[in-house]
Amino acid sequence: DSGVTQTPKHLITATGQRVTLRCSPRSGDLSVYWYQQSLDQGLQFLIQYYNGEERAKGNILERFSAQQFPDLHSELNLSSLELGDSALYFCASSVGRTNQPQHFGDGTRLSIL
Amino acid sequence: GENVEQHPSTLSVQEGDSAVIKCTYSDSASNYFPWYKQELGKRPQLIIDIRSNVGEKKDQRIAVTLNKTAKHFSLHITETQPEDSAVYFCAASISAGTASKLTFGTGTRLQVTL
């Protein structure tokens, strides 16, 4: 158990819909990262939050957004879903200082029908 | 942006043999290099990491080496066991203050046969 909690574990929805993925970081971790893992794209960094503020951005689509709340949990919102958004979405957390290990949650498997 | 290449994509070794996975990175500003092991359907698990001010790091049967000049780093697993079978990902990170961006390689599927 990494201490990072992600809900839900599985999500099945249809094209055009909107979903919210939730992540609770390890106790004491201030940074939360979101990753997308698909068969053809591998593990892709989406976005990082540190103590409530956006700190780094990867190839995150405009249809996707995230935020980190005062209690440090984070949510990733995916809208206008397309078939290609089907993937495993991982959240990771770290203490947040430079070059500290990131610990991954068990992921949310999103299936778009 | 950063680009990380990883080779080989698949690797099959006999139990007890050594396995080596190699990665190269493009951005000389990268300063942190973790390795993750991912079993089927599971989360990536950090197995070892190295920072840019260190050339080599070892943890029991696992070691990582870093050559900053050539911009490549490698994972070495000795005395492989069947439970080492998994997909291994290298990554490179450019970190500054509280901002950090991990770029992953494409993964190496390691199979340890009896």
Q: pLDDT for B12-24, tens place per residue? A: 999 999 999 999 9
Q: In 3D, which of B44, B5, B14 has the Cα closest to residue B110? A: B14
Q: Are B73 and B67 in contact (CB under 8 A)?
A: yes
Tell me: pLDDT of B11 over 90.
yes
Cβ contact A11:A112 at 8 Å:
no
* Closest Cβ–Cβ partner in B34, B98, B105 for A101: B34
Residue type, A59: N
Residue B76 has pLDDT above 90, yes or no: yes
CB-closest option in B44, B45, B101 to A56: B101
Cβ–Cβ of A42/B42 closer than 8 Å? no
Q: What is the pLDDT, as a whole number, of residue B74?
A: 98
Q: Which residues of A touch B96 (CB under 8 A)?
A: 98
Measured CA to CA, the distance from residue B78 to residue B109 in angstroms comes to 16
- CB-CB contact of B5 with B23 (8 Å): yes
What's the CA gap between B36 and B49, in Å, rounded?
9
Summarize the confidence of residues B27-44 as an average pLDDT: 94
CA distance A96 to chain B (A): 6
Output the pLDDT for position A99.
Answer: 82
Q: How confident is the model at residue A82 (pLDDT cuts 50, 70, 90)?
A: very high
The C-alpha of A88 sits at a distance from chain B's nearest C-alpha, in angstroms, of: 9
The pLDDT score that the predictor gives to residue B100 is 85
| pLDDT reading at A40 higher than 80 | no
Residue B97 has a pLDDT of 80
Strand order in the sheet with A64-68: A5-7, A19-24, A74-78, A64-68
